[in-house]
């Protein structure tokens, strides 16, 4: 998708693509995503809006995001989620809050797709 600074735009042409890790070991398995708002491609410099689709059996290993906060809104399916020391089961209409630098992981429960919306806010640019 090309860069856009529009405030209103269609997402119909944004494709569902496999998740890929830019460097290092994988952290997310059986996942495809749609990046609706991407940092530096839209008017927001620090916020992303992404739809994540984990297939049955999908999971993440415990990981954290230095300098970023995330909020998940579950659209479909069910998963076991661990954020810090808190473990819970989430389903449609539930919200998960992930403070910066907090270890978190999740695993799909059952045979249904686990689909959620992520709001990802970069608080501090990571040093390169």
- CATH number reported for the structural domain that contains residue 82 in this entry: 2.60.120.10
Q: Is there a domain that residue 24 lies in?
A: yes
Q: Is there a domain that residue 35 lies in?
A: yes
In this predicted structure, what is the pLDDT of residue 24? 46
CA distances (Å), 51 to each of 3, 72, 127, in order? 19, 9, 27
Q: Is there a domain that residue 12 lies in?
A: no
Q: Is there a domain that residue 75 lies in?
A: yes
Q: Is there a domain that residue 1 lies in?
A: no
In this predicted structure, what is the pLDDT of residue 2? 52
In this predicted structure, what is the pLDDT of residue 38? 80
Total domains in the chain come to 1
In this predicted structure, what is the pLDDT of residue 23? 42
- Which residues constitute the domain of residue 49? 18-122
* Residue 32 CB partners (closer than 8 Å, separation 6+): 16, 17, 18, 19, 52, 53
- Mean pLDDT of successive 10-residue stretches along the chain, which has 128 residues: 65 70 60 80 83 92 92 98 98 97 96 96 74
Burial of 90 (0-12, 13-18, 19+ CB in 10 A): buried
Q: Is there a domain that residue 11 lies in?
A: no
Q: Is there a domain that residue 127 lies in?
A: no
In this predicted structure, what is the pLDDT of residue 64? 92
Q: Is there a domain that residue 110 lies in?
A: yes
Distance CA 120, CA 37 (A): 10
């Amino acid at each position: 998708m090309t860069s856009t600074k529009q405030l209103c735009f269609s997402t119909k042409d944004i494709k569902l693509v496999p998740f890929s890790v830019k460097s290092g070991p994988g952290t997310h398995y059986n996942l495809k995503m749609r990046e609706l708002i991407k940092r530096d491609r839209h008017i927001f410099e620090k916020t992303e809006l992404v739809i994540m689709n984990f297939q049955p059996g999908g999971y993440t290993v415990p990981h954290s995001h230095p300098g970023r906060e995330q909020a998940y809104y579950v659209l479909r399916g069910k998963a076991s989620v661990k954020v810090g020391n808190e473990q819970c089961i989430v389903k449609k209409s539930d919200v998960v809050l992930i403070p910066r630098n907090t270890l978190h992981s999740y695993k799909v429960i059952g045979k249904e797709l686990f689909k959620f919306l992520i709001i990802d806010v970069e608080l501090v640019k990571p040093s390169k």
